[in-house]
Amino acid sequence: MKHNNELDQLKERHRGFWEMAEVDLPLTSIGTYKPLQPRQPFSLADGSQTQEGMVISPELVDAQRLVGGGRGPADVIGGDFIRGTAPYDLCWNEAISGCPILWRSGHVWSDSFWNDITDLESLRPTAQNLWLNKLLEITRLLVEQSKGNYPVGQPLLRGPIDIAAAALGDEELCWLMVDDPEGLRQVLEVCTDLFIIVSEAWRAASPAFQDGYCLYGIWAPGTAVRTQCDNAALMSPNYYQNFLVPCDERICTHFDYPLMHTHSCFIQIVADALLGIEKLRAIQVSLDYPSGPSVEILLPTFEKINKEKPLIITGGLTKKELDLLLNRLSPRGLCLQVGVHN
């Protein structure tokens, strides 16, 4: 494989990231901030393209068309990170749970559909689930294309609270927290089952790369998973501790290197709870520019995480905020994948 020695050295740096080894510099990628752009419509099985408001069914998704004839990255090494590919984001776990999937404003979205929380088994995927089988078909095609030369990364699978909110709707989820907490716990338990089932099925379809797996371009020397809790923005710290920590702990027992994706708009709600999960190996925080709190406000939370677990910071910030992070945070277990804006 090209750059074997360089790749081995990079893997050792990544191993040190997970182990919070003493280093002089963090893992770093600094570019120019670019806001999220709409995606181009993609071709469907019948030869048409996605259109505004269209409901996308698994039968309409042609795996070969979606994957195309791409050759993957020109070079597997990109600075401090490992480049690869991943399945196109089709709101996989929301779709697998039963949510309608739509094309709106240049992106794929899910709609809520579930109004009977007594029918918990309807959320649990079977081997015949069409969306799950489509995900695995696409993954196998990407693996075949890669020929082991670069990693095939995990698709965006959200997390238990996000799957529940997608199926129920945000408002119904909030009412359940107050009116039927035990019912919500049962819903979250099944959503956790779904997340684990899909994650393990995907892992079985995607072989390890260099005896490990990659998350955010960071190689981990074992099985790895990225979960998230975006809808924790609807919760208080106590609610997160009571409802979500048991879900997170279950997910963490299934993988060697579990990582939690969060956002700056709610990291202060969940930080203490996440730091208390022994088997959670790292926390990623996406900076919500321009509506989120400033780095100055977030700094005490970042410092707290930085002392206890590996921390990945992504998103947009100013040069002054970047300098603040570099000056105040330890490079041990730190990764900065950021874009600078004015």
> pLDDT confidence of 36, banded at 50, 70, 90?
confident
Tens-place pLDDT, residues 212-270: 999 999 999 999 999 999 999 999 999 999 999 999 999 999 999 999 999 999 999 99
pLDDT digits (tens, 9 = 90+) for 105-121: 999 999 999 988 889 99
User: What does pTM read for this prediction?
Assistant: 0.96
pLDDT at 258: 98
User: Looking at 35-39, 75-79, 241-245, which range is the least confident one?
Assistant: 35-39
The two three-digit tokens of residue 148, written as one number: 């082991």
Q: How confident is the model at residue 20 (pLDDT cuts 50, 70, 90)?
A: very high
Evaluate whether 93 touches 198 at the Cβ level (below 8 Å).
Answer: yes
CB neighbourhood size of 300 (10 A): 12
Q: Is the pLDDT score of 1 beyond 60?
A: no
The pLDDT, as a whole number, for residue 3 is 66
Res 101: pLDDT = 98
The chain-wide mean pLDDT, for the chain, equals: 95
The mean pLDDT value for 146-154 works out to 95
Q: What is the arithmetic mean of pLDDT over 160-169?
A: 97
Architecture of domain 4-340: Alpha-Beta Barrel (3.20)
Kindly indicate the confidence band of residue 4, based on its pLDDT and cuts at 50, 70 and 90.
confident
Cβ–Cβ under 8 Å, residues 310 and 281: yes
Render pLDDT for 276-325 as a digit per residue (tens, 0 to 9).
999 999 999 999 998 899 999 999 999 999 999 999 999 999 999 999 99
Res. 152 pLDDT band, cuts 50 70 90? very high
Give CA–CA dist 166/88, Å, rounded. Answer: 19
Residue type, 131: W
Answer whether 273's CB lies under 8 Å from 247's CB. Answer: no
Residue boundaries of the structural domains of the chain: 4-340
**By the 8 A CB rule, do 225 and 199 touch?**
yes
